[in-house]
Structure formats: structure tokens, C-alpha cells
Amino acid sequence: MVIRDLFADVIRTLLAHKLRTALTMFGIAWGIISIVLMVAAGEGLRVGQQKVAETFGRDIMIVFAGKTSMQAGGLRAGRRVRWDDNDAALIDEGAPDCRYALPELGQDNVRIVSRFNNAALLVTGSLPPFAEVRSISLSQGRFYSWEDVNQARRVVVLGTDAKKQLFGSRPAVGETVMVRDVPYVVIGVMAEKKQDSSYDGWDVNKLFVPFTAIQRDYPNKPPDTQHSLDRLLVVPKSLAQHEPCRDQMVHVLARVHNFDPRDKEAASIWDTVEEAQAFRQMTDGMKYFLGAVGITTLFLGGLGVMNVMLVAVRERTREIGVRKAAGATRREILMQFFAETILVVFLSGGLGLAVAFGFCALVNLLPMPDFFAGLLPTWQSGLFAAGLLGSTAILSALYPARRAASIDPIEALRYEAGG
């Protein structure tokens, strides 16, 4: 039997049993759709959360000063620790695996007055790399520079919502705002930004000023000194250097402020690198679970194909007997049923992939929540589904085809349907 005759015979047989063929194809297609959509949903959640997390800042360790919980150097536990404004420079020198160490000062509920409105907002002071570290991009103007810091200039960058509160739709760059009765010139306006976390407030509601300006104009209240800090921002040079940077930074601070490096209460660290790794493990687990559900569905579809083909073998027993009596070989019968199963499975698989990717494309045209990037099918999931489909097809086709080929022609000719 030539290939053309084989496939012509297969197609005639499948068309003769339209309902059975359609139901079988639906089972396999639904399994493929399930795998692709579930993996795409997990990937969309992972990418969405990653993008929002990156708007807060990438690979940052926020180091808060706390109280000692262990004795160190003859000093009692329970002693309050405060960072100093030169700690950042000491970390730069003593922690070679750290890219940035930045001091940060914040003043909450500061009264801000413009020509058009007033508000109580948070004012944050740091150094120029703060914009890069905290993913602050500008829609207008510029961020403060090292020259602004060195000269303690009274310049300010407005968060998106802060600008709307103070100026509405009017231009803000070049205007003067009174920051607790001290005049500051607006040099920039932050671009719109989505955040899912913060340690002191949303960036869109803040004012950003040079560290030296906030340190001079709004000194800490006693018992803190002018040089005291609540927190430091530390960034490793790379993810591979994250752990060394963290260890080096803690040891520098422990040496300067006389606490045990193992004392986590003295230096409380919000580590966004560890947080991102934990979230990645969670989303990967979710993706694998959803994929496993789709695989189970596909295997059930494969079992359905096998059962349908076994029924077909039983229904066509006399036909098989006639063909064998007419000279058809065991190999030809085997190829007939194997080709039927393979054709059904691969047609339904291709249809399932097309529907799944098309559905993802349509859904992604709709507005998405901030923390969800849409249905993102990956080529890996498509190849995995196709490979799994091929394995299912072979396993589903093998047993029914072998059973059909092994039927004795004399017994087949005596077989009565329903008997």
C-alpha cells in the first residue's frame, strides 16, 4: 500500500465516523490548550510581578538601624544602633563587591506650599545614584547632580502625584515651592510609576532633594545628631556578588558600630534580591503545577484516543478479516490504524496550539492589572506540549494498531458486530 492510498483510506475512515473523530480531537486539543494557557498564565504573573518589583528598585538591600540583641565588645544587648552619614563611604571602601552604598534621610508629613496649592508630603534626601537604584525616571527636567549635592543646593524633584497636588496640569519645572518655609526650585518631575511595596511611602507622593540640603535644612531631633541616619541603601555589583556584598557590608557596619555581625536585630536588612528569588520559586512552582494539570488532561485525552481506537478495531473486525483474506499484510493493517491515530492526534494538537496562542494574543489586547503582564505563552511550553503530544500519540496508537494487526482472518470473518 502506497502512502497516498494509506492516507486516503485513513481520511475516508475518519470522515465515516465524524462524531467519534471530533470528540477524540477535542480531548487532545483541550489538553494542549490547557498546558499552554496554564503555563502562559503563570509566566504572565511572574513577569508582571517582576516588572512592578523593578519599579521599586533592582537588587537593593535596605539596611535599617535597630537595637542589639547580642552582647559585643563588652557592650550590653538592647543598645540602640544608629547609622552615620559616613558609613556609606566606609562600605564603599571595605566592601569591594558592593556597587553602591547610599545614605538616605526622610522627613514625613512635611508641609509643601506652591503658588497654587499645598500638601503634606514626604521629603527624601540621598545622592544622585538614588535615581538609578530606585528606578526613578523623569518625564520632565533632570535629577539632582553631584554638583547640587556638593553645594547643598535647594533643588527638588517632584513625584508624579506630588506634582499634581501642587501644580495640577500646570508646568512645574522652574517653579519654587516652600518646603517647610524653605524655598526649593523644582528641577524635575518623575514619570508615572507603579509600586507594589515601599518602606516609607510611594515614590509618586515624594519630593527628592540632595542629601546635603535635607541634612542642613531639616536636622534630626535629639538624641540623634545631624549625621544620624535611619537607613542605608546597598546594591551589589552583580547577582553573583550579592552574598559577598551583604557579608562585607554587615562586617563593616559591625566593626564601626560595635555589634556582632550575626546580630540581625542590630542591622535589619530588607533584601529585595532574596525576595525576588523567593517569589521566583513561588511562581515557578505555580507554573509547574498548572503545567502538571495540563499534562494530566493531555494524558486523559490520550487514553480516550486509545479507547476509541480499540472500539474501532472491534467494530471493524470483519473488515480487517476481509482485507487479510484479500492479501493485506500484518504490516499494512498495523500502518492503517497507526496512521489513523497519529493523524487524529497531530491534527488536534496543531489545532490546540493555534487556538491557545491565538487566545493569548486576543486576551493580551485587553487592559491588564498592574501585577499581571497577560497570557505569555513561551516557545518552550509549545515545544514541550508538542513533544508530549507526540509521545501520547505513539503510546495511544501502538496497542490498538498491534491488536488490529494480530487478528486472525478466519476468526474475523466469523465475527458478528454486537456479538
Helix (H) or strand (E) holding 110: strand 98-113
Helix (H) or strand (E) holding 60: none
Side-chain half-sphere exposure of 160, counting CA atoms within 13 A = 12
CA distances from 272 to 265, 389, 391 (A): 18, 40, 42
6-50 pLDDT, tens digit per residue, is 566 667 766 766 777 777 778 778 777 877 888 888 788 778 777
Helix (H) or strand (E) holding 170: none
pLDDT band at 174 (very low <50, low <70, confident <90, very high): very high
For residue 223, is the peptide bond before it cis, meaning its omega torsion is within 30 degrees of 0? Answer: yes
Q: Report angle CA 133, 139, 145 to the nearest 5 degrees.
A: 50
68-99 pLDDT, tens digit per residue, is 888 876 678 888 888 998 999 999 999 999 99
Three-state SS at 142: coil
286-345 pLDDT, tens digit per residue, is 767 766 776 776 677 667 666 766 666 666 667 767 777 777 777 777 777 777 777 777
What pLDDT does residue 419 have? 47
Please spell the DSSP secondary structure of 185-254, one letter per residue: EEEEEEPP---S--SS--GGGEEEEEHHHHHHHSPPPTTS-TTEESEEEEEESSGGGHHHHHHHHHHHHH
What pLDDT does residue 298 have? 67
Q: How far apart are CA 136 and CA 354, in angstroms?
A: 40
CA distances from 270 to 115, 129, 199, 264 (A): 39, 19, 9, 11
Q: How far apart are CA 6 and CA 332, in angstroms?
A: 9
Q: Which cell numbers in the block locate residue 411?
A: 476468526
| Angle between helices 3-16 and 18-56 in degrees, nearest 10 | 90
In this structure, is the dihedral angle defined by the CA atoms of residues 274, 276, 278 and 284, taken in order, positive or negative? Answer: negative
In which residue are the cell numbers 538591600 written? 61
Distance of CA 268 to the CA centre of its chain: 26
Across the chain, what does the average pLDDT equal? 82
Contacts (Cβ under 8 Å, ≥6 apart) of 395: 302, 306
190-226 pLDDT, tens digit per residue, is 998 877 677 888 899 999 999 999 999 988 887 787 8
In which residue are the cell numbers 486539543 written? 29
Contacts 24+ apart (CB under 8 A), 278-283: 279/46, 279/49, 279/50, 279/53, 280/46, 283/42, 283/45, 283/46, 283/49
Length, in residues, of the chain = 419
Contacts 24+ apart (CB under 8 A), 353-356: 353/32, 353/36, 353/382, 353/385, 353/386, 355/29, 355/33, 356/32, 356/33, 356/36, 356/37, 356/40
